[in-house]
Amino acid sequence: MKFFAAFRRPHLVLLILLAGPLIATPSFAQNASEGITVDRPSRIKNLVPAEQLERAAQQQFSQMKRQASEKNALASDDHPQLIRLREIAKRLLPHIGRWNAKAVRWQWEVQLFGSNAINAFCMPGGKIGFYTGILDRLKLNDDEVAMIMGHEMAHALREHSRERLAKNQLTGIGAGVLSSVLGLGDVGRTVMDYGAQLTMLKFSRDDESEADLIGLDIAARAGFDPRAGITLWRKMSSASKNNPPQWLSTHPSGSNRITEIERHLDQVLPLYAQAIGVRLDALPPDPSVQ
């Protein structure tokens, strides 16, 4: 997912603010050599300064919060969905260090968007957003929410937005931004241009597949059942029959994603078993068995 493409059209949704940062604690110990493995990130991303991109995302996030405040669409700290999302995030965050050591210093936040859309995202720098529609319409349990959140976090951890923007620059789409980066424009304009591009950015199918697998790894280490990825995608596929969610056009099909999840369960189920303190043959019943 970008499952859930991060910043495509944020001005179209109402927001419910979930205030307060979530600070990650690095964790490199638990089976760091086991679980999911992926290729090294592309060096192309280095064409885009990480600090400026994260600054652009922060500015965009702040704007979204201001718009939410103007519409009286901010949740209180005791909102049940707020509490739930933040607790899930707190369990996931200690397991991000093996994917991006810098990310343990990000000021992580969770925000809930008051919208019927089936969508979620994680901005560069660790700004997580969920739409109320994805929670309510799909009736997600905590394991399924963790699959989504882990996936979106993986996009940020692997800096997929940064890589996409760098590739756009190489093809001329971001020529103006590249000029600024090379010293031909002011920093303020560069940040503004990055923010404008983020709203239109789409991840590749390879990005989505990589985020699926990394999300499984993170969630399993945090004690969430990775087999919930299968039940999640069944719900996604069912919801898309009559009114396809906006992210579906850039994502591998639900059946392909389920096949990939099943193919990698042997790598993540041992992590899940260790996290909940049981033997592999004593795991809870498989939620995907119908």
Strand partners of residue 272 = none
Q: Name the residue type at position 66.
A: R
3-state secondary structure the chain: CCCCCCCCCHHHCCCECCCCEEECCCCCCCCCCCCCCCCCCCHHHHHCCHHHHHHHHHHHHHHHHHHHHHCCCCCCCCCHHHHHHHHHHHHHHHHCCCCCHHHHHCEEEEEEECCCCCCEEEECCCEEEEEHHHHHCCCCCHHHHHHHHHHHHHHHHCCHHHHHHHHHHHCCCCHHHHHHHHHHCCHHHHHHHHHHHHCCCCCCHHHHHHHHHHHHHHHHHCCCCCCHHHHHHHHHHHHCCCCCCHHHHHCCCHHHHHHHHHHHHHHHHHHHHHHHCCCHHHCCCCCCCC
CA pair distance 41, 234, nearest whole angstrom: 30
Residue 70 is a catalytic residue: no
Q: Are 37 and 264 in contact (CB under 8 A)?
A: no
Token representation of residue 64? 């979204």
CA pair distance 184, 12, nearest whole angstrom: 33
Q: Which of 144, 152, 163, 208 is catalytic?
A: 152
CA pair distance 272, 274, nearest whole angstrom: 5
Residues serving a catalytic function are 152
